[in-house]
Amino acid sequence: MKILVLNSGSSSLKFQLFEMPQATVLVKGLAERIGEKTSRFVANDFEVNEPIATHKDALHLLTDYLLDSKQPILKDTSEIAAVGHRVVHGGNTFVQPTVITGQVKDKIRELFSLAPLHNPANLTGIETAEEIFSNAKQIAVFDTAFHQSIPIENHKYAIPNNFYEAGIRKYGFHGISHQYVSREANKLLGRKDIKLITLHLGNGASATAVLNGKSFDTTMGFGPMNGLIMGTRSGDIDQSIIFYLLEKLNYSSADIQNILNKQSGMKALAGSNDLRDIETAANQGDKRAQLALIMYAGTIKKYIGNFTAQMNGLDALIFTAGIGENSDVVRDLATKNLSFLGIEIDPNKNKNPKKYQGDITGKNSKVKIFIIPTNEEKEIASQVYQLIY
């Protein structure tokens, strides 16, 4: 059974075609800078650089490739049984992968106010795929869904209740990634009744406490700015700073959004949001870069402590995404001096994790420490497969 996974951004479209249930990748690629003059389309080793006006044009390029490449991958697009769409915000409504109907689209539209950058683009992807793959089932998989299991004491804010009733609560994000790596960790440990912390450290970053296979708490909240320090987002700050900027320093609300979303985090601390540059600068003695790395790892440690206390223990700590998978420096700093919690990495394994299948647990560590590469597309394909098969 062939399942196409789409991740639509406002000017991009990432795709992977899977043969399920083996999860063999038949095609992987993306269209980027859609609507601009310098668009690019890549599918496996095929690449074109020509203007792509719309998401529909991008999907036409994909179908042309699938049907007409030197060795056609499909005889007919009707071979695609289902299209799985990553949808960022599912609000309180969506806790499972969901077959897309008119009502589901209306609800995704209602949630535009909660995810103004993402949900509109996700809906464009859905409506385009409905036209082009009209025989396929269209399924939405939500990035917030995994976190709907977070209990009320962890998802409610201590503000007047009418706001809670209006939907102001912790939603959490990166759910598809946290769910994927936590399940992989369950497989590695051969059990599901365990206490995990999953650290998704990419440009955006979040940590999740996963108790018995379910999200129990997470660092992102109502929006994606809270919690860990990120590439360009501040993570936790004192709310009074916002009012001070607004009222005393006369910044507009749009300015503040821009500052906290795009000008903060590692970019503000070290002058770059690319961790590789920061590591190089720190190695060359740059004090700002050194401090930025200590602060970055420090917020991770704070949440390791918080979540371990909440779960009354920890069986495994999981590192994933660009930084989690690749930066031995961050993994080292984030786990330093945690032997009190039973957390110790093996410095040699941490430097050569591939040689040890990502298991970097130290000899005396009570907690297992794994690097597990995330694969959101595969997770979407398997959730879609389970729903329709």
Residues that bind ligand ADP (CB under 6 A): 202-204, 231, 274-276, 279, 321-323, 326-327
Select 191 or 276, whichever has its Cβ closest to ligand ADP. 276
Select 34 or 66, whichever has its Cβ closest to ligand ADP. 34
Select 314 or 323, whichever has its Cβ closest to ligand ADP. 323
Q: List all residues 6 or more positions away from 13 whose beta carbon is below 8 Å from its beta carbon.
A: 6, 7, 30, 31, 34, 55, 58, 59, 125
- How far is the C-alpha of 326 from the C-alpha of 306, rounded, in Å? 25
Select 201 or 304, whichever has its Cβ closest to ligand ADP. 201
Minimum distance from residue 236 beta carbon to ligand ADP (Å):
19
Select 321 or 333, whichever has its Cβ closest to ligand ADP. 321
Strands 214-218, 137-142: pairing is: unpaired
Q: List all residues 6 or more positions away from 260 whose beta carbon is below 8 Å from its beta carbon.
A: 225, 233, 234, 237, 242
The HSE-up count of residue 95 (CA atoms within 13 Å, CB side) is 7
Q: What are the structure tokens assigned to 71, written together?
A: 């060795």
Minimum distance from residue 357 beta carbon to ligand ADP (Å):
18
Selection from 320, 270, 276, 314 nearest residue 292 by Cα:
270
Minimum distance from residue 328 beta carbon to ligand ADP (Å):
8
Minimum distance from residue 325 beta carbon to ligand ADP (Å):
8
- How far is the C-alpha of 300 from the C-alpha of 295, rounded, in Å? 9
Q: List all residues 6 or more positions away from 80 whose beta carbon is below 8 Å from its beta carbon.
A: 2, 3, 4, 17, 74, 133, 135, 136
Minimum distance from residue 320 beta carbon to ligand ADP (Å):
8
Select 82 or 278, whichever has its Cβ closest to ligand ADP. 278
- N-term to C-term CA, the chain: 9
Minimum distance from residue 364 beta carbon to ligand ADP (Å):
27
List 57, 143, 217, 346, catalytic entry: 143
> Residue of minimal CB distance from ligand ADP?
322
Q: List all residues 6 or more positions away from 370 whose beta carbon is below 8 Å from its beta carbon.
A: 185, 188, 316, 317, 318, 319, 358, 359, 360, 361
Cross-sheet strand order for the sheet of 195-201: 214-218, 205-211, 195-201, 316-320, 368-371
Minimum distance from residue 252 beta carbon to ligand ADP (Å):
27
Specify the length of the chain in residues: 389
Judge whether 220 and 172 are in contact, CB under 8 Å.
yes
Select 326 or 365, whichever has its Cβ closest to ligand ADP. 326
- How far is the C-alpha of 278 from the C-alpha of 289, rounded, in Å? 5
DSSP 228: S
359 is catalytic: no
Residues involved in catalysis? 143
